[in-house]
Amino acid sequence: MTTTVTLTGTGVPFPSAERAGPGVLVSHDDVHLQIDAGRSTLMRLTQAGISPHQLSALLLTHLHSDHVSDVADLAHTRWVQDHMHGTGPLPVVAVDGHAPGFVRRVLAANAYDVDIRVQHVQDGPPEVIGHWFALPHTPAEVWRSPCGRVCVEAVRVRHEPVEQAVGYRITTPEGVVVVSGDTRVCEEVAALSAGADILVHEACRSSALAEFVRGTRFETIFSYHADTVALGAMAKRLGVPHLVLTHLIPEPASPGQAAEFEDEVRQGGYEGHVSVGHDLLSVTLEQGVR
């Protein structure tokens, strides 16, 4: 058994033919955890060989639309397929604030389709199993697989003005994977990442592009995302062996622009392994990148 991390989406709110909306799949044996579900997540999961009925849980970091726009497709398609697989409702793990209402509204959006399918095929309407938790200010366990082998912890991250934003730490028998969600570089993520084998972290070239965005709306946007140089400094301090960059801001349009993300992380002093993310990039704790 190996623990595998697959980037199901590395994009930003602007649509891209090459990058789906933000999402990360962490798998250990038959435990499959999807963190966030940006646009086209369902299609990327299919490309990765995972069907909605195989998901053990969907973990939401926060409710910015680019991270949750495919929740509806994921939950509804799992429901449509349930008469074939019998896996039941999708477990959803998220902060007990705005998320439960959001998920209820997502399920209600297809009411007409649900009524028709219940009359002819389905045994009942779509549901989720909510694992709602209080916003944790220090890392706290929020979910554990029924087999007991996979533990998920969460902590509040710094993505103001979004208050209910978290990152996740997934511990398997082989090691630890941390997924930052959207955040500035902060001590909360540092605490979550202590001893991690792989840190999947959003990356924004805010220092390098500061003069270009000064006085624009992008200056505000950059202020609540993770600067690449500061991220490199944090990863160096923590001794994280493998840093995976995702949710790349701005989206690189060439291999050279992608390489600049790693260059700036190195400027922060980080000397470990860096993977600049692309959709379906896969990392295992035993085998490295492929």
Q: Give the range among 47-51, 170-174, 286-290 with minimum mean pLDDT.
A: 286-290
State the Cα–Cα distance between residues 220 and 240, nearest whole angstrom.
Answer: 29
- CATH number of the domain where residue 194 is located: 3.60.15.10
- Work out the pLDDT band at 206, boundaries 50, 70, 90: confident
Count of other CB atoms within 10 angstroms of residue 181: 30
Count of other CB atoms within 10 angstroms of residue 131: 17
Query: Does the pLDDT at position 83 exceed 50?
Result: yes
Query: Does the pLDDT at position 290 exceed 50?
Result: no
Count of other CB atoms within 10 angstroms of residue 224: 18
Give the tens place of pLDDT for each residue, 220-278: 888 889 999 999 999 999 999 999 999 999 999 999 999 999 999 999 999 999 999 99
Give the tens place of pLDDT for each residue, 145-155: 999 999 999 99
Q: How many domains does the chain have?
A: 1
Q: What are phi and psi of 7, to 5 degrees?
A: -85, 110
Residue of 66, 82, 182, 197 with catalytic role: 66
Query: Does the pLDDT at position 39 exceed 60?
Result: yes
State the Cα–Cα distance between residues 131 and 177, nearest whole angstrom.
Answer: 20
Residue 277 lies in domain = 3-289
Cα separations (Å) of 253 from 17, 73, 115, 257? Answer: 11, 28, 44, 6
Find the Cα–Cα–Cα–Cα dihedral 44, 45, 47, 51, rounded to 10°.
-150
Residue 36 designated active-site:
no
pLDDT score, position 286:
64
Give the tens place of pLDDT for each residue, 166-197: 999 999 999 999 999 999 999 999 999 999 99
